[in-house]
Structure 1
Amino acid sequence: MGSSLLSTSRLLFSPTPNREVRGCGSDLQNAFFRKLNLSRRDMGRSCRHNGVVTALFQFGKKSAPPKIKTVIPEPDYRIPAVLLGLAGGLAYTENVLASAPVGLLGLLLLFQTTRVRFVFDDKALEVKVGEELDESGENVFVGGKNRWNYSSFVNWEIWWPNFPILVYFKETQTKPEGQVHFFPVIFNGKQLYDVMVERAGPSKTSSPK
């Protein structure tokens, strides 16, 4: 009876089945990690392959050149102010015949200073008007649009550097033999000079101060 119970207890608590279970669990665990490592290697190969393809694509792709920003020189009221002051002085000395045309010119330039803008974009200089920068239409003196490509500029000058009064330039866009333009400098002279040098090439005059 005692030996039967002992044999039964040995059968129930035998360590062999546990080793088999542990062995089976270890096999499943090892298989799982082997599959996981294989998946990681596949992912690594795929990522390396995609990286090479992306690098080749980016190498062959041409980057776009940086866009040149649009520059609009600020208005300058010094010339209208000088003309109106001169007209007032002439009127004070009772020189009405001289003060009238000077005063009218001062008023005209004052009005133009408030509305006319030189717009330097990436390709051309264009004269525009108003706060919304509307097109100024055709040139009333020589015809054609008030827009000239920098590549058509033959030469240009600003008179005078220390107190800019006139800007002059000659272009071949309006006429093949060249068309001359004069504008009063009703803009910031330093800004105007700098952008003209940058877009249209150097001038013989020195920078306005």
Structure 2
Amino acid sequence: MTSATPLSSTETVTLQPSYNIPIGLVTIAIGLTFVKWWIGLPVGLFGLFLLIQTVLLKLTFTPTALDIYRGETLIRQFPFAEWQNWEIFWGPIPILFYFREVKSIHFLPIIFDPTMLRICLEQRGTKMTLPESDS
């Protein structure tokens, strides 16, 4: 498995972790705790939960599926043949990755490299949901 920019859709790529969202949430929680501790506490706990998930989980793109690993153990596989569309929400600061399979919908926080995520999704030939225009 490599973590470099993929050259083709036949290469297996493991995304690098991104700690931006968990650290951002913990930082916001610290500030909120000084204002309203009962708001800061759940935000901080959620940030810590995402931090742990960032350390433990790995997303790997194979030529045919998106695999999710906890350590070295494969915990879930999402074959691209079953995908209908995908989208990365909020372009300036990607925070949420959505994809829809034939029978289910999935939302994942962006706790991995969003640039490589987009590159891998585009190379695997899955369809992207485009925002509707106002015209």
Q: TM-score, normalised by structure 1?
A: 0.56
Q: Judge conservation of contact 1:125–1:149 (CA < 8 Å) in 2.
A: yes
Regions of 4+ moved over 6 Å: none
Residue 126 of structure 2 aligns with which residue?
201
Deviation at 1:202, TM superposition (A): 4.1
State the alpha-carbon separation in 1 of the partners of residues 114 and 82 from structure 2: 22
* Counterpart AA for 1:179: S
| Structure-2 change in CA distance of 1:122 and 1:135 (3 Å) | same
Aligned to 1:123: 64
CA contact (8 A) 2:96 2:109 kept: yes
- Cα root mean square deviation, aligned: 1.8
Number of matched residues? Answer: 124
3-state SS, counterpart of residue 74 of structure 1: coil
Q: In the alignment, which residue of structure 2 is the partner of 1:60?
A: none
Aligned to 1:26: none
2:74 aligned with 1:135 = yes
Which residue matches 2:115?
190
Deviations 1:104-125 (A, max 9, x none): 0000000000111111111111
**What does residue range 99-110 of structure 1 map to in structure 2 within 5 Å?**
99-110=40-51
Q: 8 Å contact 1:158–1:205 — kept in the other structure?
A: no
Equivalent position of 1:171 in the other structure:
101
Gaps of 5+ in 2: 1-7
Instruction: Tell me the CA shift for residue 73 of structure 1.
Output: 1.2
The residue type equivalent to 1:74 in the other structure is: Q
* Greater per-residue helix proportion: 1
Q: Deviations over 1:5-55 (max 9, x none)?
A: xxxxxxxxxxxxxxxxxxxxxxxxxxxxxxxxxxxxxxxxxxxxxxxxxxx
Tell me, what secondary structure is at the counterpart of 1:164? coil
Structure with max Cα Rg: 1
Q: How far apart are the structure 2 equivalents of 1:171 and 1:153? A: 4
Match of 2:21 in 1: 79
Greater percentage in strand: 2
Identity of aligned residues (%): 34
Whether contact under 8 Å (2:84, 2:126) holds in the other structure is: no
